[in-house]
Amino acid sequence: MRTIDDLGALSGRTVLVRSDLNVPLDSEGNITDDGRVRASVPTLRQLTDAGARVVVCAHLGRPKGTPEQKYSLRPAADRLSELLGFPVLFATDTVGESANETVDKLHKGQVALLENLRFNEGETSKDDAERGAFADQLSHLADAFVSDGFGVVHRKQASVYDIAERLPQAAGQLVQTEVGVLRQLTSKPQRPYAVVLGGAKVSDKLGVIENLLEKADLLLIGGGMVFTFLAAQGYEVGTSLLESEQVARVRGYLADAENRGVQIVLPTDIVAATAFAADAEHEVVPADAIPADRMGLDIGPESATRFAEAIRGARTVFWNGPMGAFEMPAFAAGTQVVAQALVDATTSGALTVVGGGDSAAAVRQLGFADSDFGHISTGGGASLEFLEGKTLPGLSVLEA
């Protein structure tokens, strides 16, 4: 992939940057986790220091092709201004009158942010012509393009894929870092190589499990997805989250892992509650004896200790998905123990990668700093698809 240095002299040139500013907001529109905004800053600083006129574009949430105030990127513009130390101009549309006027006013070393790209139907359209027409409009705002939104590189969208075919393009620092780290996980990782998978649904991770059975030494399974694994072993899972249609496939993975000598580590105890609620009555029960009227909401303390020991003994660790309903203190202990084990492994020299999404939110909510880990990815879905071995459109177009 080409880097920003390959674009040549940038002083006075207008550079369109696709960033990932898809941050969580509270009911009052305040950013509750600014990790992705902070991750976008190094590339923007590199461009402004080079004298470029920088136009940032991004999305937030899932608007349906029309403006919705709750999905406005203005809070991201305000936070960027604070992080960069100077005002970031804000355009109230994507390619309309405000965008053009705002870009025209930019001086060397200044930054402007366009309103949410997904307020325009062309951004996510499946129709190549409609998507291309929007990319044409975006391309008229700049004379070079930098792809720095790793969280969207698995999407064939106008600001990710089509724009890179219309302007001189390069990968930003964040995309380069993400790709470099993930390649370490897929090409000759230091061993033992442990993969920790959690989160709600096993179906979200079927592809990555299948691919990692060829690469990892052990898989530690927690979160809501574990109950499909327990059911595949014939155990009662009560009212826990269960994807019954995936039981046969998971049973196949368990057999395949045994044949390959890959260890799949499942919890031996579970925190089972009467309801999905912070104040629900709960108790620790054996993983093979979950009461029929209870649901598992976290791995138990014995399991957390076993997981932590395995993680501390690894030289490469990839983690995607919390071990339980970490948003509720009663069911956060498993995730807390796993996170601390990754910190300990990092300290001992292991490569540790937190795979974005809920995992990144969990470690920050539980009080850990980004610097406690080897790398926190900004792209949960993109990271998983990379590890599955899929072709990511937003990366392939940069390599063309």
**Does 64 count as an annotated binding residue?**
no
**Does 315 count as an annotated binding residue?**
no
**Does 109 count as an annotated binding residue?**
no
**Does 120 count as an annotated binding residue?**
no
**Does 131 count as an annotated binding residue?**
no
**Does 224 count as an annotated binding residue?**
no
**Does 296 count as an annotated binding residue?**
yes
**Does 36 count as an annotated binding residue?**
yes
**Does 154 count as an annotated binding residue?**
no
Active site residues: 36, 201, 357, 381
**Does 59 count as an annotated binding residue?**
yes
**Does 358 count as an annotated binding residue?**
yes
Cα-based torsion angle of the residue sequence 200, 203, 209, 210 in order, rounded to the nearest 10 degrees = 170
State the Cα–Cα distance between residues 154 and 161, nearest whole angstrom. 10
**Does 215 count as an annotated binding residue?**
no
State the Cα–Cα distance between residues 393 and 149, nearest whole angstrom. 13
State the Cα–Cα distance between residues 157 and 176, nearest whole angstrom. 20
**Does 62 count as an annotated binding residue?**
yes
State the Cα–Cα distance between residues 308 and 298, nearest whole angstrom. 15
Q: Which three-class secondary structure state does DSSP give residue 236?
A: coil
Question: Residue 48 corresponds to which tokens in the numbers above?
Answer: 């402004």
Cα-based torsion angle of the residue sequence 293, 298, 301, 306 in order, rounded to the nearest 10 degrees = 120
**Greatest distance between any 2 Cα atoms in the chain:** 67
**Does 174 count as an annotated binding residue?**
no
State the Cα–Cα distance between residues 209 and 10, nearest whole angstrom. 43
Cβ-Cβ contacts under 8 Å for 259 (sequence gap 6 or more): none
For residue 73, give Cα distances in angstroms to 22, 60, 117, 309, 394: 9, 7, 9, 42, 22
User: For residue 133, what is the enclosing H or E element?
Assistant: helix 128-139
Q: Which three-class secondary structure state does DSSP give residue 202?
A: helix
**Does 320 count as an annotated binding residue?**
no
Binding-site residue ranges for substrate: 20-22, 36, 59-62, 118, 155
Binding residues for ATP: 205, 296, 327, 356-359
List binding-site positions: 20-22, 36, 59-62, 118, 155, 205, 296, 327, 356-359
